[in-house]
Amino acid sequence: MTAWQQLGIEPTTNLREIKKAYAVKLKQIDQDTQPDQFIALREALQTAQYEAEYGLFDQEENQDSLFNDDQPLNFNEHTESAQENEINQSSDTLLEEIYLAIQQRIVEQDIHFNIREALQKFADHLDIVSEQATRLSYIERMDQLLLDHGLEDFLGYVAESSNHFTIASDQIDELYSHSETVIDLNDEQSDQNITQEIDPVINELYQVKQLLWEDNISDDVFERFSLLLNQQFDLPLGQQIEIKDQLMSAVAELRVDRMSPQYFRFLELWNDVYPDDVHEYNEHYYSRILQQRLHEYLQKRDLFKSLSHDDYSFLEHLSGSQSFRPFKMLHLQKQLKHHHPKQQVMDVLDQFEINDTASNINYNFLKSINQIKHFVLMNLVFSVVTFFVLDQFLSNLLTQRTLILISIGVFILFTLIIQPMIHAKILAFPNRDDLLYRYQKIWFISGFLMCIAASALPAILYSSLSYLWLIATIILLGCLKLDAHKNMNRIFQSAYIKYDYLMMGIGIAILCFGLSFVFYTLGQPHQPWLISYSLIPISCLLFPDSFRPLFYSFGSGKNTDDLNEQQIIRKTIIIILLRIAFVGSVGYFVISENSQHYIYAACLTFVGLFFTLFNTKKFSSFIKYTTYIATIIVGFHAIIISIITGFYLYKSLEIKKQLS
């Protein structure tokens, strides 16, 4: 039986008529139960198309004469023809394997099957095939496969993707016409059933997509989103692919708070339904965006799940301008410590990557609470000073033991409640840098004036004002500590071993006690509270980077546009020295001898500004090596101390050399 007899038509060159005949015969065959007839029909189609294209059906009687010609064939031509046939057979075999693999994945309705990539691979191998009839045959087979499984959206994809497919444009039109013909041959009732089943789903899909494009992640949208993903496996593969493609772009482009549990659940569900998406590389834009978000979420999933829904609502109070919620923040502090006992609370919060926390009052409140250990020493000084103030006013009414208990209570109340709240309020100002700068200037000038006015004020009033100034100092230093970034005020940055910290601690302590002793001596016997103002040079020593703006504000002034940095520093030093000389001269020549030492104390406050002039690292090294050398010299009386100190100095230098 010839190919034309199998198709049931007369030999013709009309490819469209051949395809119509093939479509009619195909409807009469069950491909699952009659595979042999299907293969025979497919071969008949290929043969008929080939003969029609090259007009071979009129020359069938003459074919034998072509091969029985008395003239011998050229050997080289015969060899090349044989090699070409082998290549074509190999290409056809590989192409058939690819086709069968695609067919199997489509029949299995594997939602994770990347059909576009598979069709592109099929088209690439199709380009290798030299016979145009074979190409056309495989394109039709693939289109028929797509039609049979409801994947009409991919019809013609192979023909369009083939780079070297050389059929004429009218033949491409015929391919699409063939697809339309096959669709028309389907039962009309079946089309109505498909429309009734799929249209509501597609309508729901595009409604959910539109809501997601509007950044709506409410419970209702998530429920509809979940329903689409979970019920898709009961739909044809084409609809499954469309659902994934449409929802992928919408989820990838969500512009919502990424710390929101409402957002997490979309990523969690997507990862459950498509677990391979996070690992598979895909050049598709939305696929890459969603994959990146999935990676970020999965890396921190345990962190996100450690908090309840209410705790997440507390996180919303840590960003931007918010009202003060101290009790909620204390609850959040408790929860974070409970779930992450081995980590600092602020380190855990930083993992959430919350935006705009710098001026947030609640964030700064938590930050202050978690850095209480840095304020303990100053707060202990505050507690001791509180005891002396209370003793001055209430010694006749209360016992020493009661005053001590009150001082301890004031210390606890101030440290745990009052101080963090004040820190949070100050740091929450929008222009807090300007506020802190003005705070520093007022603090410095008021301390300077209190030194000068020591002889003019009554002792009780002076002690009361000094006590208030001391509280303002503690608050200021706390704010500067919280506001400074990690590379500021690193006075211990030259320490490489634990012994370095010990030596530098001793050196800094000696400097601080020395300054305090000088101010206390100058205030004796009438104003011992003058010692409070030794905190000005001590603060400049411990916070050089934070107080450096004061050095320039009292020196070079504003007219520095035409000066380089070195010129500005020299100008500032000269102006500050002139200020010190002026104040000292007034004290020496104008003020009475009994009040001169207060003027000298005021001059020392300006001297403290020079601590901010030096490079912090160099100043740190200076303190370190000076303390080492002084300890070695003093230790000559106990030679073992000098030997130990010298050994650790050598060890520190070796480590420094290795690091550099």
**pLDDT tens digits for 295-318?**
888 888 878 777 777 777 788 888
Model pLDDT, residue 168: 38
For residue 247, what are its two tokens?
Answer: 């929802």
Closest CA to 138 of 125, 151, 154, 153: 125
Is there a single domain that holds both residue 131 and residue 226? no
Is there a single domain that holds both residue 175 and residue 272? no
Domain final residue, candidates 190, 217, 251: 190
The Cα 252–Cα 213 span in angstroms is: 10
> In which residue are the tokens 């095939």 written?
129
Q: Is residue 320 part of a domain?
A: yes
CB-based burial label for 474 (10 Å; 0-12, 13-18, 19+): buried
Arithmetic mean of pLDDT, 488-505: 92
**pLDDT tens digits for 601-627?**
999 999 889 998 888 889 999 999 999
Q: Of the given ranges (157-166, 172-181, 643-652), which has the lowest mean pLDDT?
A: 172-181
Arithmetic mean of pLDDT, 192-206: 63
The Cα 416–Cα 632 span in angstroms is: 42
**pLDDT tens digits for 553-564?**
876 665 566 677
Return the percentage of the chain with pLDDT > 90, whole number: 26
* 3-class DSSP string for 127-177: CCCCCHHHHHHHHHHHHHHHHHCCCHHHCCHHHHHCCCCCCCHHHHHHHHH
Please confirm whether the linkage preceding 525 is cis (ω < 30° from 0).
Answer: yes
Is there a single domain that holds both residue 280 and residue 166? no
Residue 157 has pLDDT above 70, yes or no: no
Model pLDDT, residue 464: 93
Does residue 529 contact residue 466 with C-beta atoms inside 8 Å?
yes
Is there a single domain that holds both residue 182 and residue 219? no
Domain final residue, candidates 270, 290, 305: 305
Does residue 507 contact residue 623 with C-beta atoms inside 8 Å?
yes
Model pLDDT, residue 592: 75
Does residue 611 contact residue 541 with C-beta atoms inside 8 Å?
yes
The Cα 352–Cα 303 span in angstroms is: 8
The Cα 102–Cα 145 span in angstroms is: 9
Q: Is residue 393 part of a domain?
A: no
Residue 629 has pLDDT above 90, yes or no: yes
Model pLDDT, residue 71: 40
Residue 194 has pLDDT above 90, yes or no: no
Model pLDDT, residue 190: 42
Arithmetic mean of pLDDT, 486-501: 91
Is there a single domain that holds both residue 31 and residue 129? yes
Q: Is residue 574 part of a domain?
A: yes
For residue 503, what are its two tokens?
Answer: 């030596």
Q: Of the given ranges (118-132, 278-292, 337-351), which has the lowest mean pLDDT?
A: 118-132
Does residue 632 contact residue 645 with C-beta atoms inside 8 Å?
yes
Is there a single domain that holds both residue 332 and residue 301? no
Is there a single domain that holds both residue 166 and residue 230? no
Domain final residue, candidates 265, 282, 305: 305
Q: Is residue 389 part of a domain?
A: no
Angle at 467 between CA 464 and CA 471, to 5 degrees: 145
Q: Is residue 472 part of a domain?
A: no
For residue 135, what are its two tokens?
Answer: 């190409």
Model pLDDT, residue 512: 94
Q: How far is CA 72 from CA 68, 76, 78, in A?
A: 9, 12, 10
Residue 65 has pLDDT above 70, yes or no: no
Count of CB atoms situated within 10 Å of the CB of 472: 15
> In which residue are the tokens 């606890």 written?
412
Residue 43 has pLDDT above 80, yes or no: no
Q: Of the given ranges (71-85, 94-108, 341-355, 421-435), which has the lowest mean pLDDT?
A: 71-85
Is there a single domain that holds both residue 345 and residue 278? no
Angle at 60 between CA 54 and CA 64, to 5 degrees: 115
Model pLDDT, residue 183: 40
Model pLDDT, residue 408: 93
> In which residue are the tokens 């409140």 written?
365
Does residue 594 contact residue 523 with C-beta atoms inside 8 Å?
no
Model pLDDT, residue 55: 67
The Cα 656–Cα 16 span in angstroms is: 85
Handedness of CA 162, 163, 167, 171 (dihedral sign): positive
Give the total residue count for the chain. Answer: 660
Q: Is residue 362 part of a domain?
A: yes
Arithmetic mean of pLDDT, 172-177: 44
Arithmetic mean of pLDDT, 160-188: 44
Q: Strands (DSSP E) along 270-333, which ranges?
A: none
Residue 630 has pLDDT above 50, yes or no: yes
Closest CA to 360 of 488, 258, 486, 482: 482
For residue 101, what are its two tokens?
Answer: 């693999």
Residue 293 has pLDDT above 90, yes or no: no
Count of CB atoms situated within 10 Å of the CB of 150: 17
Q: Is residue 70 part of a domain?
A: no
Residue 62 has pLDDT above 60, yes or no: no
CB-based burial label for 368 (10 Å; 0-12, 13-18, 19+): buried
Closest CA to 147 of 38, 237, 15: 237
Q: How far is CA 35 from CA 29, 41, 100, 253, in A?
A: 9, 10, 14, 47
Q: How far is CA 21 from the centre of its chain?
A: 61
Is there a single domain that holds both residue 167 and residue 214? no
Model pLDDT, residue 178: 45
The Cα 46–Cα 131 span in angstroms is: 11
**pLDDT tens digits for 323-345?**
999 999 998 898 888 888 888 88
Does residue 368 contact residue 329 with C-beta atoms inside 8 Å?
no
Is there a single domain that holds both residue 185 and residue 49? yes
Model pLDDT, residue 274: 87
Model pLDDT, residue 160: 56
The Cα 151–Cα 106 span in angstroms is: 9
**pLDDT tens digits for 534-549?**
999 999 999 999 999 8
Is there a single domain that holds both residue 93 and residue 232? no
Closest CA to 386 of 291, 465, 467, 441: 467
Q: Which residue has the higher pLDDT, 179 or 236?
A: 236
Does residue 243 contact residue 228 with C-beta atoms inside 8 Å?
yes
The Cα 631–Cα 113 span in angstroms is: 75
Residues 6+ apart with CB under 8 A from 445: none
Torsion, CA 88, CA 93, CA 97, CA 102, rounded to 10: 40
Return the SS3 of 78: helix
Number of domains observed in the structure of the chain: 4
Domain ranges, residue 273: 191-305
Is there a single domain that holds both residue 293 and residue 336? no
The Cα 495–Cα 508 span in angstroms is: 13
Mean confidence (pLDDT) of the chain? 80
Q: Is residue 513 part of a domain?
A: yes
> In which residue are the tokens 């059933």 written?
193
